[in-house]
Amino acid sequence: MPAHPLLLLRRVLASGVSVCLAALSLGAQQPALKPPAKPAAEAAARPAPPPAPGPPPLPREDLEAFMDGVAPTQLATGDIAGMVVAVVKDGKVLFAKGYGYSDVATKKPVSVDSTLFRIGSISKTFTWTAAMQLEEEGKLDLNKDVNSYIDFKIPAPFGKPVTMANLMTHTPGWEEVLKELFVTDTSNVVPLKAWLPKHLPTQIYEPGTTPAYSNYGATLAGYVVERVSGEPFDDYIDAHILKPLGMTNTTFRQPLPAALAPMMSKGYRKASDSAKAYEYVAAWPAGSVASTAENMTHWMIAHLQDGEYNGARILKPETAQLMHARLFGAFDALPGMAHGFYEEGRNGHRVIGHGGDTQWFHSDMHLMLDDHVGFFVSYNSAGNGKGTGRGDIWHQFLDRYFPYTPAPVPPVATALADARAVAGTYRSSRRAQTTFVSGVELAGQQAVSVNADSSISVQGMDDLAGNPMHFREIAPKVYRETGGQEMVAFKTDPAGVTVMGNPFPFEVAQRASLAKNGKMNEFLAGFALCMFLLTLLSWPLNAMFRKHYAVQPALDGGYRALRWVMRALCVANLLFAYLVIKFFSNVSNDIGAFSSRSDPHLRVVQLIGLIGALGSLVAIYYAARSWRSSGLWSWARIWNTLLAVAFVGFACFMLNWHLLTTSLRY
C-alpha cells in the first residue's frame, strides 16, 4: 500500500508553512516565574523565589570567554552563517561581539557596529514606544476605540470596540493574516492607508478576551501613530526615537537608505546554501527594522533606564514604567503582556522582552528590569535545526550568571484526575480560521498526554535532548516542568472549552472539537487520497487480471462511461492535493508567494477542488448503480462504496478547512 499521502502534506506544513507563521512573529520565549500582581489560588501555591542579595558580578572577561565557547558551537552545529550577541548592564555596554560571516561568499565577518541584522517583530517595540509617547502627550487614549483615530471603519461584530490597549496585548480578536506580509520588491510595499483596509482580518474573538498574536494589529498601531502625530510613520520614528537615541544605523525604511545598504548582512536558510534576497515587509510597523547590535544596545539601555539614554529622554520615567507593567494575562500564574513587551521572567528575576523572525533572520531581546541587564542576540540564518538556538544561549547565560533552583512543591492529591481532565488535542488561538490557509493549523496542533507518574507532556515542548518534558501539577491545573522552569496551565472559558496557557502570553491553545481534531482530519484525508490513488493503480491491474483469467464483465455502456468519469474525478482530487502542497511548499523558499501573484494559481486550484467536491454526487450514484449491476464482482461493489465514502469525506475535509472558498483574502 502506498505511503500515507498526508505525511507529505504534514511535512510541508510543519517545515514550510510554519516559516510564514513564524515570519514577523516572536521567538521561543520562556515562562514567567514572577508572582501575579493580585493573589490567586494557583499562584499562591507557588513558592516565592529566595530573595536575591543583589545582582551577581558579570565580569566582561568571563562573559567573553563564555560566549566565545557557545556562539561558534551554535554556528557550526546549526549551519548558521553569522550572529551577534550584545549584553548591557547599568547603562553601559558590557559585551558586544559578532561571530561568523555576514556574507559567506566573500567571507565578510559580522561586525557589531557595521553589520545590519533584521530584527523582525522586535520592531514592534519601537511602534509601541511611539504609541506611548503620544499617550504621554495626551494625544492618544489607550482605551479609546481606534476607529476614532483612523479613516476607515473596523467592524465590531461582538459589540465591543478595538482599543490600542487591545493591540498592545494582542487581544483585538482577529484571525491570522498571511497574505502580503512579505513581498518580493518595494513596488509591492504600499502605504499603510491602502494596505490596512485591504487586509482587514475577520474578528473571531471578543476584543480583550483571547490573546492571539496579530501582525495586523501592530501595523494598525503604526498607522494610528501616523494619523495622530501627523507625520509619516518612518519619519516619526526617525525624529522621535532613533535620532534622540543616536541610533544612526537603524531604520524601518525599505529599501534601505543608500548609506546603510552596504552594511546589510545577507540572509540564509543555511550557511551552506546560497544567500537569499532581501525581505520586504509590507506590514512594516510590525517588523521591518534593520539594525546593528551596537544600536540595539542603545535601545535596551533606554528602556532599562526608564526612557533615557546618554542624556536623551524618549519617555518620562512614569510612562516607561507603565509601559513595562503587566497589562493583560490569560493566566495569573503564567507570563502576561505588558504594553507591547511581554513578560518572560526566569531564574527568579523580573524579565520582559520580545523576539522576532523574518524568514531568514531570528532575534531575541531580553530586559532584566530590576537587574538593569539587557541581552540581545540575532542570527542571519534559519539553520538546520540541529544546533541550540537563541533561547538556549539566553538560558545558558542566565544559569551561569544568575543561577536559580525552583523550590520543590508537594504533590497535588488530584494530580491524576486533573491530568486526565486536561488531556486532549489543542489548537492555537493564533490561527487563520476562515480562510484558504486555515489548514495550516493541522501541523501545529498539540496533544496533551498523561504519563505514568500522573504528570503530563505537551507535544512540541521538549528538552534539549529532544525528549518530551514532564510537567507536574503544582496547583490546581497549573503545571511546572520536572526539574525545570517551563510552565503550562489550564482553565475553562465561558463557552465551556478547555484552554491551555503556555510560555507564550500572546496566545493560548484551545481544546479542538472533533471536527477540527487534526488526527481525525488527517486520517479522513489520508484514507480518501489512498482510495483515489489505489483506484487509479487498480485500473491497469484489473485489466491484466481480466486478460489473464479471460473474464470480461458484462457491463452496459452507461456504467463503463461512469468508470471513466470516476477515474477523472480521482485525478482531479489528487491534482488538487498536489497543487495545494506545491503552493505551501513554495512558501518555504519564498514567503512572497503569499501574495496577489499567486491568485491565478489559487483560482485554478479552487476550480479543480470544486470539480472534485461535486464529484461526490457522481461517486454516490456510481456506487448505488454498481450494486444494481449483475456483471460486477462483489469486491468491486464494496470498493465503489468505499470510494464514494472517500469522495464525500474529502469534500467534507475541503469544506471544513475552507479550501473551496472563493475568497482570495487570507
Using one digit for the tens of pLDDT, what is the confidence trace for 502-541? 999 999 999 999 999 999 999 999 999 999 999 999 877 6
Hey, what amino acid is at 108? K
pLDDT of residue 1: 38
Count H helices and E strands in the chain, helices first. 17, 22
Contact 340, 129 (CB under 8 A): yes
Contact 640, 623 (CB under 8 A): yes
**Cα 348 to Cα 32, 106, 172, 245, distances in angstroms:** 9, 44, 31, 31
pLDDT of residue 592: 85
How far apart, in whole angstroms, are the C-alpha atoms of residue 515 and residue 652? 10
Instruction: Tell me how many degrees the CA angle 185-188-193 measures, rounded to the nearest 5.
Output: 140
Asked if residue 182 has pLDDT above 70, the reply is yes
pLDDT of residue 22: 43
pLDDT for 348-377, tens place per residue? 999 999 999 999 999 999 999 999 999 999
Asked if residue 386 has pLDDT above 90, the reply is no
CB atoms closer than 10 angstroms to residue 140: 23
Hey, what amino acid is at 664? L
Could you tell me the three cell numbers for 211?
490573546
Asked if residue 40 has pLDDT above 50, the reply is no
Which stretches does DSSP call E strand in 319-400? 342-343, 351-357, 362-368, 373-379
How far apart, in whole angstroms, are the C-alpha atoms of residue 627 and residue 649? 21
Least confident of 15-29, 400-414, 421-435: 15-29
The mean pLDDT of 612-640, rounded to a whole number, is 90
pLDDT of residue 540: 72
Average pLDDT of the chain is: 90
- Rg for the chain, CA atoms, rounded: 27
pLDDT of residue 586: 86
Contacts of 617 (CB under 8 A, 6+ apart): none
Return the closest-CA partner of residue 609 out of 643, 656, 564: 656
Instruction: Tell me how many degrees the CA angle 38-43-48 measures, rounded to the nearest 5.
Output: 100
pLDDT of residue 24: 39
pLDDT for 138-149, tens place per residue? 999 999 999 999
Return the closest-CA partner of residue 528 out of 648, 615, 422: 648
DSSP 66: H
Return the closest-CA partner of residue 180 out of 601, 589, 596: 596
pTM of the model: 0.89
pLDDT for 564-599, tens place per residue? 999 999 999 999 999 999 999 888 888 888 999 999
Contacts of 176 (CB under 8 A, 6+ apart): 21, 201, 212, 214, 430, 431, 432
How far apart, in whole angstroms, are the C-alpha atoms of residue 237 and residue 288? 12
Hey, what amino acid is at 617? L
Contact 216, 180 (CB under 8 A): no
Asked if residue 552 has pLDDT above 80, the reply is no
Sign of CA dihedral 608, 610, 616, 621: negative
Which of residues 41 and 345 earns the better pLDDT score? 345
